[in-house]
Amino acid sequence: MNTVPASTFSEDPGAPAPPGVIPLSVPHLAGNEWAYVKECLDTGWVSSAGPFVERFEQAVTKVTGAGHGVAVVNGTAALHVALLAAGVGSGDEVLVSTLTFVAPVNAVRYCGAHPVFMDADPQTWQMDPAKVAEFLEEECEQRSAGLVNRRTGRPIRALLPVHILGLAAEIDVFVDLARCYDLRLVEDAAEGLGVRVRGRHVGTFGDTGALSFNGNKIITAGGGGMVITADPARAERARYLTTQAKDDALEYVHNSVGYNYRLTNLQAALGAAQVEQLSGFIARKRAIAARYAEAFRHRPDIIPMPVPAAHVEPTYWLYTVLLPEGTTIEARQAVVAELHHRGIGARPLWHPVHTLPPYREDQAYRVEHAPRLYTRAISLPSSVGLSGADQERVIAAVNEVLDARG
Ligand SMILES: *Cc1c(COP(=O)(O)O)cnc(C)c1O
């Protein structure tokens, strides 16, 4: 058994791993990455303009079927601008699952808006549509300002479902609720590139959607994100906001507060090379998920990742399992630590955001399941480049660690 210092895994999960270590999810650079990045260097187009930015936008737009794509520096910036372009502003409230990476919630705050935390569905792990419907029905009322949260007196402006882990939120229900209550629908599809519901790509059901090309995502631009939308006016607004809100580029006239969120041509070149390989990457992720599911099929102490309904095409971006009901947080942490000692880059899910210091004062509506899922969940190495032998090493390590615990 090779022992690996725990600090190995405190780094960025998208960073390359030292020898002998199997990382959680790292980039797979097997296509035209070198050629395209070299082209940037050879032509001098390295900064925030250049042909690869448009090429990348068009390629992602084509893959997702979104009408428009605006490339930005990262997924968090994409979420910020997706919310602004959808019309979320200061003093508004946005409904979001507490079981998510923190970025979408931070993006709500960047807009001066407030999150209202929703529970996760124990079956799908995604934002619970029944509780969202119940909250809108029971806790809110129509006033002249629109739908208002009775507890805070603030208007509910948007639903922000996060499609987590390469699965899909129950988007049809959120589309209906948004229509019924006249709310905006903004989708965090940062983990969802390649995921489809009834053939339609996640992130394209609402007013705006956000993608991420961070190093640990299914494809990477080094760092990067994209705002996607069917609405040309929202796309134009997004482009305006992400390019310093220039109303006269020569004379420095800016009629809004803009942001410097543009993606560089260098990053777009990497992204353009990666997106060419997406279908193969998705196939690998699915094969990895199938092998884990098969390997742990007979273990009563491993609850596999949800298999979605037949109308959903998942990517299983990060294969994640649950330990049995009643597992304590200390027990789960011990399992992760044991895996780290064996050189396996396992990870817990995200700390429920409503319990984090910046968000403890915000409303959390009937949250019960998200903390339990968080307590029990472990994500396993799922890189596109994970070799069959390395996956068997992960499986053997998980079996060994759980057998030893009895
Ligand atoms: C990665 C991620 C983001 C943020 O994307 P960055 O490119 O890292 O800024 C947002 N939401 C979710 C759910 C993510 O997983």
Ligand 1 centroid – CA 186 distance (Å): 14
> Which atom from ligand 1 is nearest to the alpha carbon of 164?
13
- What is the percent of the chain with per-residue pLDDT over 90, rounded to a whole number? 93
Ligand 1 centroid – CA 359 distance (Å): 18
> SS3 for 81?
helix
Ligand 1 centroid – CA 76 distance (Å): 6
Rounded Cα distance between 394 and 400, Å, is 10
Nearest CA to ligand 1 atom 2: 190
The H-or-E segment that residue 156 falls in is strand 156-160
Rounded Cα distance between 29 and 3, Å, is 28
Q: What is the mean pLDDT of residues 273-301?
A: 98
Q: Which amino acid is at 135?
A: F
Question: How is 3-50 classified by DSSP, letter by letter?
Answer: ---GGGGSS-TTSPPPTT-B-SS-----SSHHHHHHHHHHHT--SS-S
Q: What is the mean pLDDT of residues 122-149?
A: 97
Torsions phi, psi of 127, nearest 5?
-50, 130
Ligand 1 centroid – CA 173 distance (Å): 23
Instruction: Ligand 1 pocket test: pick from 79, 101, 219, 261 the residue with the most ligand atoms within 8 Å of its Cβ.
Output: 101
Helices 388-405 + 278-295 axis angle, to 10: 30
Residues 158/43, Cβ–Cβ less than 8 Å = no
Rounded Cα distance between 385 and 95, Å, is 36
> Which pLDDT value is given to residue 249?
82
pLDDT at residue 1 greater than cutoff 50: no
Cβ < 6 Å from ligand 1: which residues? 74-76, 100-101, 103-104, 162, 188, 190-191, 212, 214, 225
Instruction: Ligand 1 pocket test: pick from 97, 195, 212, 242 the residue with the most ligand atoms within 8 Å of its Cβ.
Output: 212
Ligand 1 centroid – CA 91 distance (Å): 24
> Which pLDDT value is given to residue 20?
86
Give the model's confidence band at 12: pLDDT under 50 very low, under 70 low, under 90 confident, else very high.
Answer: low
Give the model's confidence band at 48: pLDDT under 50 very low, under 70 low, under 90 confident, else very high.
Answer: confident
Reported as a single tens digit per residue, the pLDDT across 344-386 is 999 999 999 999 999 999 999 999 999 999 999 999 999 999 9
Helices 171-181 + 129-138 axis angle, to 10: 10
Both tokens assigned to 9: 């895994």
